[in-house]
């Protein structure tokens, strides 16, 4: 089920970015429940409300992870994205007439891309964290083999890793296969796109995000010290990057 991020009431203020979506969904990465982000969603919502005071934020787990760990896992990213959309609508959190902002990390980013392509009228903004997707990189080339080897040892040994966490082996493999099969278009989705990546990401080379940015004409911001899990490494930077990107051209900068 989607879980809404809640903040204490604040003084009303005018919208700095009135065209920005008022509803946002944060989609978790492969085999990691949204709970692992800790207070990062609150930091995101705080910054979103600086530019759009009515903003709401929901976190959603990928099937096979977190609160959805018992759910069946479709073998294709398009089916994963469709399932996500259905869950959000069934929970009464959203209806198709509302424009959404999607924030997707890793595999969650692929689901966000696919949703934006299949239902462009529903998506008003797309933020991809640590993105890597074919055809901009062969998926197996995007991750060093030493990390795959370490991940396999951690799966069997019960240790945690930034990419797969403690997800059951079968879930991690099913999600990994869905990711491996997926390839997007070289044409940018209709919604505005922001790419965020860490230059110290050991799982995905940040240059992949650079290639996507050049092909799509999408905005790109790089964190010089962050790794793959941007929201854990520097949630305030992620949140402020999104808020500043949403400001209309020519607006005064955020204080």
pLDDT of 66: 59
pLDDT of 177: 65
pLDDT of 170: 61
User: pTM for this one?
Assistant: 0.84
Contact 246, 20 (CB under 8 A): yes
131: helix, strand or coil: coil
pLDDT of 39: 77
Separation of alpha carbons 54 and 230, rounded Å: 25
- CA distance to 126, 154, 243, per residue, from 27 (Å): 11, 24, 18
**The two structure tokens encoding residue 76:** 């294709």
- Strands 56-60, 3-4: pairing kind: antiparallel
pLDDT of 165: 46
| CATH tag for 3-246 (out of 3.40.47.10, 3.30.365.10, 3.40.50.1820, 3.30.70.380) | 3.40.50.1820
Give the residue from 120, 124, 119 showing the smallest Cα distance to 25. Answer: 124
Q: With a cut of 70, which residues of the chain have pLDDT below it?
A: 10, 12, 30-36, 64-74, 138-180, 183
Contact 83, 153 (CB under 8 A): no
pLDDT of 156: 45
CB-based contacts of 85, cutoff 8 Å, min separation 6? 115, 119
Q: Which residues of 125-161 are buried (b: 16+ CB within 10 A; e: fewer)?
A: bbbbbbbbbbebbebeebbeeeeeeebeebbeeeeeb
- CA distance to 24, 29, 32, 102, 239, per residue, from 140 (Å): 31, 17, 20, 25, 30
pLDDT of 138: 64
CB-based contacts of 156, cutoff 8 Å, min separation 6? 169
CB-based contacts of 106, cutoff 8 Å, min separation 6? 29, 30, 129, 130, 131, 132, 163, 203, 204, 228
Task: Classify the C-alpha dihedral 168-171-177-180 as positive or negative.
Answer: negative
Q: Which secondary-structure segment (H or E) carries 90? A: helix 77-90
pLDDT of 203: 79
Separation of alpha carbons 235 and 227, rounded Å: 12
């Amino acid at each position: 089920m989607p879980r809404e991020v809640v903040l204490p009431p604040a003084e009303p203020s005018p919208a700095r970015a009135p065209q920005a979506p008022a509803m946002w969904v944060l989609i978790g990465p492969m085999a990691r429940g949204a709970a692992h982000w800790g207070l990062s969603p609150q930091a995101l919502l705080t910054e979103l409300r600086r530019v759009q005071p009515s903003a709401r934020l929901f976190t959603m787990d990928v099937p096979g992870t977190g609160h959805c760990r018992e759910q069946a896992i479709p073998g294709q990213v398009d089916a994963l994205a469709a399932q996500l959309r259905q869950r959000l609508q069934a929970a009464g959190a959203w209806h198709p007439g509302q424009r959404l902002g999607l924030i997707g990390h890793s595999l969650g980013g692929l689901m966000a891309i696919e949703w934006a392509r299949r239902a462009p009228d529903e998506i008003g903004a797309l933020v991809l964290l640590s993105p890597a997707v074919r055809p901009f990189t062969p998926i197996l080339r995007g991750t060093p083999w030493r990390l795959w080897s370490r991940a396999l040892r951690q799966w069997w040994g019960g240790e945690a890793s930034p990419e797969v966490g403690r997800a059951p082996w079968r879930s991690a493999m099913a999600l990994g296969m869905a990711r491996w099969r997926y390839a997007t278009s070289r044409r940018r989705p209709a919604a505005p796109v922001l790419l965020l990546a860490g230059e110290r990401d050991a799982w995905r080379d940040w240059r992949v995000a650079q290639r996507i940015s050049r092909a799509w004409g999408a905005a790109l911001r790089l964190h010089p010290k962050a790794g793959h899990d941007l929201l854990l490494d520097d949630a305030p930077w992620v949140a402020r990057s999104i808020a500043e990107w949403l400001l209309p051209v020519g607006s005064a900068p955020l204080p």
